[in-house]
Amino acid sequence: MMEAAKSLFLPFISVAAVCVVAELAWSFHKKRQVYNLKETLCNLSMLVINRSTQFLFVGYTYYSITWLEQFQPHKLPDTPLFALLAVIVVDLLYYIEHRALHTNKLLWCLHQVHHSSPWFNFTASFRLHWLGRIVTPVFFAPAVFLGFRVEQILLFVTLNLIYQFFLHTEMVGKLGFLEGIINTPSAHRVHHGQNKQYIDKNFGGLLMVWDRLFGTYEPEVETVKYGVTEGYFGANPFVVQSVLFRRLLRELIRDLLGKAKVIPPNAPEQMLK
């Protein structure tokens, strides 16, 4: 798996670079401001650090899920039909993970980084929390218990995420009958919107079927306002990575001190700094 991840990275990053150049040319031609220098540098710095620590997290994910194999009640056949079934199961589990990242307060601290920029372009797909992969084994463990091979699971998770890179753009409009069936740039723009009707919508990775099934699908109707409702955190990657964790810690301290009657529950935030 680790070798497969390495072999995919260089071809992917080469294609990604071509896409970024094409998007820059398109935005210049269309006079559309979809790039901001500071935000782009922030996104790329997150990519560099994520890439630098990839061997740790790929190894952690691989060995965590491999350890679970001993509890498999059976192994499914290694056939094209079951490979297709693995793609579908992995996508469903991705939907569950993605929805949990948005709806759980602690997990949102890991995921808000990806949504925190008001600029939406291909480089925004690199805007990921450095510790975000720590929860991956938890959500994809069911695929192991169903009998799928670890290498198969992790390959399809990786390909799912690579596919999503191509969704982070305004360069591609709506794709007709495919909207609402597969994940498209239009559907993913909605997912990144902080418009009231767009919040917590379109969690699917490859497919929008899960969103339609579970009531979280929303088509792109009005212009998307990108970013998060908590506000703009700036373009310092270390601030963006940590800001919600620090807020959550302050809230926890406030609650603990309030219960201990050390400070009143409505004490100003400055008292906790």
Q: What are the Cα distances from residue 223, in Å, to 111, 179, 181, 219? A: 23, 17, 21, 11
Query: What local confidence, expressed as pLDDT, does residue 124 receive?
Result: 97
Torsion 38-40-45-50 (CA) sign: positive
Please report whether residue 60 resides in a domain. Answer: yes
Q: How confident is the model at residue 59 (pLDDT cuts 50, 70, 90)?
A: confident
Has residue 257 got a pLDDT over 90? no
18 shares its domain with 153: yes
Of 42-51, 62-71, 201-210, 260-269, the range with the lowest mean pLDDT is 260-269
Mean confidence (pLDDT) of the chain: 91
User: Which of 165, 180, 196 is where one domain is finished?
Assistant: 165
In a domain, 62, yes or no: yes
Count of beta carbons in the 10 Å neighbourhood of residue 248 = 14
Q: 209 lies in a domain? A: no
Assess whether 114 and 241 both reside in one domain: no
Quick check: 190 pLDDT over 70?
yes
**Helix and strand tally (H, E) in the chain?**
10, 0
Measured CA angle at 134 (ends 231, 123), to 5 deg: 50
pLDDT at 125: 97
- Angle, alpha carbons 231-233-234 (nearest 5°): 130
Let me know whether 141 and 31 are in one domain.
Answer: yes
Q: Which of 111, 141, 165 delimits the end of a domain? A: 165
Q: Which residue has the higher pLDDT, 102 or 267?
A: 102
The residue segments making up the domain with residue 116 are 2-165
Rounded average pLDDT over 157-170:
96
Q: What number of other Cβ atoms are within 10 A of residue 50's Cβ?
A: 17
pLDDT digits (tens, 9 = 90+) for 167-180: 999 999 999 999 99
Last residue of a domain, one of 165, 197, 222: 165
Are residues 240 and 161 part of one domain? Answer: no
Regarding whether 147 and 25 lie in a shared domain, the answer is: yes
Q: Is 242 found in the same domain as 161?
A: no
What is the SS3 assignment for 70? helix
- The number of domains in the chain is 2
| Nearest one of 164, 26, 31 to 90, comparing CA atoms | 164
Q: Average of pLDDT values for 86-110? A: 97
Q: In whole angstroms, what is the distance from residue 180 CA to residue 178 CA?
A: 6
127 close to 168: Cβ distance less than 8 angstroms: no
In a domain, residue 29? The reply is yes
Q: What is the pLDDT of residue 212?
A: 97
The runs of H, that is alpha helices, within 116-236 are: 136-145, 150-165, 185-191, 209-214
Model confidence pLDDT, tens digit, residues 198-247: 999 999 999 999 999 999 999 999 999 999 999 999 999 999 999 999 99
Q: pLDDT confidence of 7, banded at 50, 70, 90?
A: confident
Q: Do 200 and 103 form a contact (C-beta atoms < 8 A)?
A: yes
266 has a pLDDT exceeding 80: no
In a domain, residue 225? The reply is: no
Query: What whole-number percentage of the chain has pLDDT above 70?
Result: 92
Report DSSP state, residue 272.
G
pLDDT above 90 for 262 = no
Single out the residue of 238, 233, 235 nearest to residue 49, CA to CA.
238
